[in-house]
């Protein structure tokens, strides 16, 4: 009996899934957890890893294995986090399959503890105005309450060009806040750039980058930025999954999904829902939910986007990690009709982004350069809402730190990403011959 079958037989009758992966009030510890980089170079090896990644959350509880990136092609690396008690076992299994592997993170728990220290160090600043001292704000990752307070403070001193709107409520009762920035206009047809982040809870660099972009749009004295605010309204949602994000801060740093019956936010959109790259198993990290838009967060966001779809010129979802600018489709390896334009725009953004710090981003369709992920927001935005320029940004890094990116990278990531998006906005303005609005 093979490895998967043995575990299946043992655990078949056990309900491994619940919305809580750790005991109440007990934080999940990652001391001694390692991240391995695997390199399948035969079809059998690829199939073995694919089977393992598909079934792992159903069959192996308590994150003994957690695939940070998914198996896709021969000679494409796969990153997997391994618990201390399972490390020897999995290395033996990989050896039996002749799968090349190496340790790329020696102790995930150590990185998490370093991250916590930066949060504790920021306590000094929490009685001060972060808006007046934004450099301090971007020296740490923040709670949902702090993120929302920062948005409110940004708005309070920039009421002429900003607004805060609550567009829905999460499962646990938190507001979904949308920050809107742009020169006020009498027109109801002003073009919109939509950016959301934090869909996957553990990807902390994404909300911080969205906040950095909001701050930059508000505070920049650059004439090009001011001109873009006269052309566009920017709608920025720094945390699309605040319940999951807050749980990743308080209970399980590697939590990815929402807090309602375990769905993965990303697979819950109603476009080719339930197909390639998503799972019907509630334990899976890619569980797509009971039905399209079963989650209050995806329902609220999609309803709002549909109400503005004729004005939205670009949709961007921010994730981490891997340094990709991804276009549709995620449900198939076929390319959308407008792929050449999508690719060209993404490449221009990547070229601009690289200029500041030399950070290289690869550009292409989700399925072809990353992996299949049906039910994603970018596919839905392009295929249903009709937003031509729909993208996913997989931010820094390429695996040295993975999801636990140190805070020293918040500002560089924000700066380069802002530059790339500014280029995209300029290109879209020129393509559609968009004009500054009459104020």
380-391, pLDDT tens digit by residue?
Answer: 999 999 999 999
pLDDT, tens digit, 9 for 90 and up, residues 153-166: 999 999 999 999 99
368 neighbors 327 (Cβ within 8 angstroms)? no
Those residues whose C-beta lies under 8 Å from the C-beta of residue 51, and which sit 6 or more positions away, are 4
Band of residue 131 on the pLDDT scale cut at 50, 70, 90: low
pLDDT computed for residue 438 by the predictor: 66
Distances (CA, A) of 247 to 21, 301, 338, 408: 10, 21, 38, 23
| Alpha carbons 369 and 320: distance in angstroms, whole number | 15
CATH topology of 32-106 equal to that of 127-432? no
Per-residue pLDDT, 152: 95
Residue 303 has pLDDT above 60, yes or no: yes
Residue closest to 392 by CA, chosen among 373, 380, 377: 377
Q: For residue 272, what are the contacts with CB-CB under 8 A and spacing of at least 6?
A: 331, 332, 374, 375, 379, 383
pLDDT score at 66: 92
Reading the block at residue 119, the tokens are 């949060």
> Alpha carbon 223 to chain centroid distance?
30
- Please, which residues have CB within 8 angstroms of residue 392's CB and are 6 or more apart in sequence? 316, 317, 318, 319, 324, 325, 326, 366, 376, 377, 378
Contact 320, 405 (CB under 8 A): yes
Is 394 annotated in the active site?
A: yes
* pLDDT at 3 exceeding the cut of 70: no
Residues 390, 45: Cα–Cα separation, whole Å: 34
Least confidently predicted of 182-196, 254-268, 310-324? 254-268
Give one DSSP letter per residue of 85-153, joined into a string. Answer: HHHHHHHHHHHHTT-EEEEEES-HHHHHHHHHHHHHHGGGGTTS-TTTTHHHHTTS---HHHHHHHHHH
Query: Would you list the DSSP string of 199-251?
Result: SSTT-THHHHHHHHHHHHHHH---HHHHHHHHH-EEEEES-S-HHHHHHHHHT
The answer to whether residue 14 scores a pLDDT higher than 70 is no
For residue 30, pLDDT over 90 is answered with yes
CATH code assigned to 127-432:
3.40.630.10
With CA atoms as reference, report the closest residue to 70 among 89, 52, 45. 52
List pLDDT tens digits, range 81-120: 999 999 999 999 999 999 999 999 999 999 999 999 887 7
Q: pLDDT band for 58, please (50, 70, 90 cuts).
A: very low
Nearest to 267 by CA among 254, 259, 257: 257
Q: Where are the domains of the chain?
A: 32-106, 127-432
Helices (H), 269-332: 296-308
Contacts of 175 (CB under 8 A, 6+ apart): 148, 166, 168, 169, 242
Dmax (CA) of the chain: 72
> What is the CATH number that goes with domain 32-106?
3.30.70.340
Q: What is the pLDDT of residue 271?
A: 78
Q: Which bin fits 399, alpha (ψ -120 to 50), beta or left (φ > 0)?
A: left
Q: Which of 115, 203, 285, 394 is catalytic?
A: 394
Question: Residue 418's closest CA among 148, 255, 195, 127?
Answer: 195
């Amino acid at each position: 009996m093979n490895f998967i079958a043995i575990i299946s037989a043992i655990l078949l009758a056990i309900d491994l899934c619940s919305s809580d992966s750790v005991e109440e009030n007990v934080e999940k510890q990652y001391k001694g957890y390692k991240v391995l980089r695997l390199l399948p170079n035969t079809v059998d090896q690829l199939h073995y890893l694919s089977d393992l990644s598909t079934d792992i959350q159903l069959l192996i509880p308590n994150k003994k294995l957690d695939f940070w990136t998914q198996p896709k092609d021969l000679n494409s690396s796969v990153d997997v986090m391994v618990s201390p008690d399972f490390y020897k076992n999995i290395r033996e299994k990989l050896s039996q399959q002749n799968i090349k592997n190496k340790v790329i993170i020696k102790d995930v728990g150590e990185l998490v503890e370093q991250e916590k220290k930066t949060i504790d160090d920021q306590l000094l600043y929490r009685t001060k105005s972060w808006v007046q001292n934004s450099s301090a704000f971007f020296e740490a990752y923040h709670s949902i309450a702090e993120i929302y307070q920062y948005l409110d403070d940004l708005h309070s001193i920039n009421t002429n060009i900003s607004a805060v709107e609550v567009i829905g409520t999460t499962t646990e009762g938190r507001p979904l806040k949308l920050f809107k920035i742009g020169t006020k206009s009498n027109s109801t047809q002003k073009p919109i750039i939509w950016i959301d982040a934090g869909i996957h809870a553990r990807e902390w660099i994404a909300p911080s980058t969205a906040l950095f972009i909001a701050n930059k749009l508000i505070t920049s004295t650059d004439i090009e930025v001011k001109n873009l605010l006269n052309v566009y309204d920017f709608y920025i949602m720094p945390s699309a999954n605040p319940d999951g994000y807050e749980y990743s801060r308080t209970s399980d740093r590697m939590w990815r999904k929402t807090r309602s019956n375990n769905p993965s936010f990303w697979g819950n959109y109603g476009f080719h829902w339930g197909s390639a790259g998503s799972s019907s198993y509630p334990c899976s990290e890619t569980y797509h939910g009971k039905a399209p838009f079963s989650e209050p967060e995806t329902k609220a966001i999609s309803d709002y986007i549909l109400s503005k779809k004729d004005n939205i010129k670009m949709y961007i979802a921010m994730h981490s990690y891997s340094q990709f600018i991804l276009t549709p489709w995620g449900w198939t390896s076929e390319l959308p009709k407008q792929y050449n334009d999508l690719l060209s725009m993404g490449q221009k953004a990547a070229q601009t982004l690289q200029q500041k710090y030399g950070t290289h981003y690869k550009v292409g369709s989700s399925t072809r350069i990353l992996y299949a992920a049906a039910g994603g927001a970018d596919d839905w935005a392009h295929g249903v809402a009709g937003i031509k320029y729909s993208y996913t940004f997989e931010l820094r890094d390429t695996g040295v730190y993975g999801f636990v990116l140190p805070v020293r990278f918040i500002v560089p990531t924000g700066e380069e990403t802002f530059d790339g998006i500014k280029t995209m906005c300029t290109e879209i303005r020129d393509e559609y011959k968009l004009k500054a609005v009459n104020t």
